[in-house]
Amino acid sequence: MKFSLILCNAFVFSIAMHLFSQTNLKPSQTHALLHLKFINPDDTPFKSAEVSLVQQKSKEIFKAKTNEFGLVQVLVPKGESYTTSCGSYQNTAPISIPDRGNLQWKGTRYTHPTVKLIFEYKDLSGLLVKGEQIRIDTKSGLTFVGETNAAGVTTIYLPGQDAYSISSPTQEHFHDFDYRIPLNGMTTLKYYHVAKSSAQLEKETAQKIAVQKATDEANRKEHEEWRIRDSIRGATPTVVIFINRYGKPIDIYDGGKTEALTGRVTDYFYSICRNRPNEKTAEVLVRKRRGTYHYYARSEDQEWTGTYKLYGGGVHYISVGLEKGKPIKI
At residue 6, the pLDDT reads: 31
Over residues 80-103, mean pLDDT: 92
Distance linking the first and last C-alpha atoms of the chain:
157
For residues 39 and 69, give the distance between their C-alpha atoms in angstroms, rounded to a whole number.
9
Number of separate domains in the chain: 4
22 has pLDDT over 50 = no
CA 150 from centroid of its chain's CA atoms: 25
The pLDDT-based confidence of 230 (bands split at 50, 70, 90) is confident
Write the DSSP symbol of residue 275: P
pLDDT surpassing 60 at residue 53 = yes
Burial class (CB in 10 A: 0-12, 13-18, 19+), 209: exposed
pLDDT on residue 330: 66
pLDDT interval class at 16 (50, 70, 90): very low
242 and 322 share one domain: yes
- Mean pLDDT value of segment 223-235: 89
Query: Of 196, 226, 250, at which residue does a domain stop?
Result: 196
Q: What is the mean pLDDT of the chain?
A: 88
Q: Sorting pLDDT into bands at 50, 70 and 90, what band is 272?
A: low
- Which pLDDT belongs to residue 8? 33
CATH of the domain at 153: 2.60.40.10
Contact 140/162 with Cβ under 8 angstroms?
Answer: yes
- Tell whether 30 and 104 lie within a shared domain: yes
Last residue of a domain, one of 218, 235, 252: 235
User: What is the secondary structure of 33-67 as a DSSP string?
Assistant: EEEEEEE-TTS-B--S-EEEEEETTT--EEEEE--
- 163 within domain boundaries: yes
User: Comparing 63-67, 85-89, 111-115, 269-273, which segment has the lowest mean pLDDT?
Assistant: 269-273
Domain that holds residue 275: 238-327
Question: Across residues 176-198, what is the average pLDDT?
Answer: 84
Asked if residue 62 belongs to a domain, the reply is: yes
DSSP-derived 3-state class of residue 123: coil
Instruction: Count Cβ atoms within 10 A of the Cβ of residue 181 and give its class: 0-12 exposed, 13-18 middle, 19 or more buried.
Output: buried
Average pLDDT in the 14-41 region? 73
Region for residue 319 given its phi and psi (left: phi exceeds 0; alpha: psi -120 to 50; beta: otherwise):
beta
**What would the mean pLDDT of 159-181 be, rounded to a whole number?**
89
Q: Does some domain include residue 11?
A: no
66 lies in some domain? yes
Provide the pLDDT for residue 17. Answer: 31
Q: Is 172 inside a domain boundary?
A: yes
12 within domain boundaries = no
Comparison of pLDDT for 328 and 292, the residue scoring more: 292
Residue count of the chain: 330
Assess if residue 9 is contained within a domain: no
- Does residue 270 or residue 39 have the better pLDDT? 39
| pLDDT for the residue 23 | 55
Same domain, 206 and 189: no
pLDDT at 51 exceeding the cut of 80: yes
- The reply to whether 36 and 74 lie within a common domain is yes
Q: What is the mean pLDDT of residues 180-196?
A: 83
Where is pLDDT greater, at 234 or 74? 74
- Residues 87, 120, single domain; the answer is no
Neighbours of 99 (CB within 10 A): 11
